[in-house]
Copies of this chain bind each other. A is one copy, B any other.
Amino acid sequence: MADETGIEALIDLMARLPGLGPRSARRAALLLLKKRGQLMVPLAQAMAEVALTARDCQTCGNIGTADTCTICADPRRATGEICVVEDVADLWAMERAGAFRGRYHVLGGTLSALDAVGPDELRIPRLVARVAEEGVREVILALNATVDGQTTAHYIADVLAASGVQLTSLAQGVPVGGELDYLDDGTIGAALKARRQF
């Protein structure tokens, strides 16, 4: 092992990143040690800076550098549509697709009886308040197609039923470029059920 406590501590911290185990953390630390000026110093500075400036958007739960994130602060984004996602990673995926021009609401997880995650842990009360305050016409439930994700979607639909807002969810079907032979039975079944006029 690296005999120096500082280097050891660095490797231990790196190993806590997703995608890096103890072995790849050592490799990554060694690359950092070799590229001290080009990579380690800029990375340390970027982390220190982001750690200082990053904060959760008070409106939607997205991570940004101000109390209101760039999406919520952008007047060109439609205010009548809110896309509900589980996590900031899902928001980033939606933005990469570039197909949605409304606003988001990041729940911060899914309801889970096992992990004792209830509605109050999930920014669901904030969503209900936003629907009332912002004159929202449509809530798009873009939760993951997992059991927990769908349970959470049904719960939100129940809570918002009285508000009269239109509730939609992402279409299920064959992925673009997907081959039937490689698709699971559930997806094929869902795509068949939702078939459209050609």
- Say yes or no for A157: interface residue by CB 8 A criterion: no
The interface size of chain A toward B, counting residues with CB under 8 Å, comes to 52
Given contacts A6-B65, A71-B3, contact A43 B13 (CB under 8 A): yes
Q: Is the interface of A mostly helix, strand, loop or mixed?
A: helix
B7/A63 in contact, CB under 8 A: yes
Across the interface, do B31 and A13 meet the contact criterion of CB distance under 8 Å? no
Tallying the copies of this chain within the complex gives 2
User: CB of A114 within 8 A of chain B?
Assistant: no
Task: Out of B7, B31, B54, B65, name the residue touching A18 (CB < 8 Å).
Answer: B31
Q: Give A98's nearest chain B residue, CB to CB.
A: B1
The reply to whether A33 and B63 form a contact with Cβ atoms under 8 Å apart is: yes
| B3 and A95 contact, CB distance less than 8 A | yes
